[in-house]
Amino acid sequence: MKTYIPYSLILAAASAGMAFGAETAYTTPVGYVSLGDTTPGQPAVKANTDVYLSVPVLKSSEFTGAVSGVAGNVISITGAAFTAGQFSNPANPYYVVVESGTKSGLVAVVSANGTGDVTAMVQVGDSLTGVASGDRVTLRKAWTVGSFLGSSLPSSGVSLFTLPATGAPNPSAENIYDWDGTNWVDNVNTGAPADNDILYPGETLILRNASATPIASLVVSGEVLKANERIPLGAVSGPSDLAVSYFGAVGEPIGTSSLGSVVANGDSLLGFDNSAPGFNKAASVILDFDGTNWVDNVNTGAPDNGFLIGGGQGFILRRNSPAAAQVWSDQATYVPSL
């Protein structure tokens, strides 16, 4: 059974400590998140404008089970009776999501599956080490370039940029997908449709509308993450920008996001105004970590630990000194109320 819960109510319930009742343990909250400019009366993306986005929800679970063992990248699942290959078709990719245990929140792509197991292609910087017998896993369709934003877009002039996992400050796009009215075409590598290229929760995306037609609405629907958010952060040898965002259906105060536990004094989080027109925008929000607080470096010069991240917004984490690879893991404040 699934319970539809608007995300505004999730946030209100979390802030009020509201319980959803005993039935909550058996239901999955689903709903929608509006992306881009969410100002009432405004289009999601103005003409000739960039907006910064991220994946806020998961697609529906098609299988839930318990881990019986892990060998290398192969997860065996208790009682599974799959058809070999049913979750590993490149034209219809799937995630395996670990939803309990020490690796709660790990999202990996299924690269193969047998009748009782899946092979997980884990993101760089993470591993299956620590996934244990009894941990809960789900299998669900992956978000792709073709499935994330729908087709209600201008027939030309719209592009989706992905950014390097780590790179120099102000990096260029790693991949550019151009919407031709039917498909998203890879403009960097193949020149061919690439609708099935996979997007990951936690990565920052830039949607560019270079047409004269505003994009009225961008709405993503799906299931709310009830596990931890878990985002690998790559190692850097010097000042670098990481295109990472908080994976959650609603905004999480940066001060309770656990980001402070994996960054260093002097690192910064950069945010961008999706309501402002234009391309290649400068950051409208810069929050500098001073070892304890996130300090507003644009407006007040004071701590702003209540600034909300997540909810489908895209950010840049700026590392200002060398750092080892780490994993940013956090349980959103609304999760215990679900």
Same domain, yes or no, for 164 and 206? yes
The domain tally of the chain equals 3
pLDDT digit string (tens) for the chain, length 338 residues: 343 444 444 443 343 333 322 223 446 788 899 999 999 999 999 999 999 999 999 999 999 999 999 999 999 999 999 999 999 999 999 999 999 999 999 999 999 999 999 999 999 999 999 999 999 999 999 999 999 999 999 999 999 999 998 888 999 999 999 999 999 999 999 999 999 999 999 999 999 999 999 999 999 999 999 999 999 999 999 999 999 999 999 999 999 999 999 999 999 999 999 999 999 999 999 999 999 999 999 999 999 999 999 999 999 999 999 999 999 999 999 898 87
Same domain, yes or no, for 183 and 288? no
Contacts of 251 (CB under 8 A, 6+ apart): 11, 308, 309, 310, 311, 313
Out of 141, 157, 192, a domain closes at 141
pLDDT of residue 338: 78
- pTM of the prediction? 0.92
The candidate with the shortest Cα–Cα distance to 326, out of 244, 249, 227, 239, is 244
Q: What tokens does 45 get?
A: 């993306």
Tell me whether residue 76 is in a domain: yes
Same domain, yes or no, for 290 and 193? no
Same domain, yes or no, for 80 and 125? yes
Residue 80 belongs to domain spanning? 61-141
Query: At which residue do the structure tokens 């941990």 appear?
Result: 135
Tell me if 286 sits within 8 A of 298, measured CB to CB: yes
Tell me the C-alpha distance between 307 and 285, whole Å. 10
Same domain, yes or no, for 173 and 245? no
Tell me whether residue 277 is in a domain: yes
Give me the CATH number covering residue 73: 2.40.30
Tell me whether residue 332 is in a domain: yes
Contacts of 295 (CB under 8 A, 6+ apart): 287, 288, 289, 301, 302, 303, 304
* Radius of gyration for the alpha carbons in the chain, expressed in angstroms and rounded: 20
Vertex 84 angle, CA 83 and 86, to 5°: 70
Q: What tokens does 124 get?
A: 């760089």
Out of 182, 207, 222, a domain closes at 222
Tell me whether residue 327 is in a domain: yes
Same domain, yes or no, for 68 and 182? no
Parallel, antiparallel or unpaired: strands 285-289 and 294-296:
antiparallel
Same domain, yes or no, for 255 and 322? yes
Same domain, yes or no, for 52 and 154? yes
Tell me whether residue 7 is in a domain: no
Tell me the C-alpha distance between 48 and 265, whole Å. 37
Tell me whether residue 29 is in a domain: no
Same domain, yes or no, for 230 and 321? yes
Same domain, yes or no, for 278 and 303? yes
Tell me the C-alpha distance between 206 and 160, whole Å. 6
Parallel, antiparallel or unpaired: strands 2-4 and 28-34:
parallel
Tell me whether residue 99 is in a domain: yes
Contacts of 190 (CB under 8 A, 6+ apart): none
Out of 141, 172, 195, a domain closes at 141
Same domain, yes or no, for 110 and 122? yes
Tell me whether residue 1 is in a domain: no
Same domain, yes or no, for 281 and 328? yes
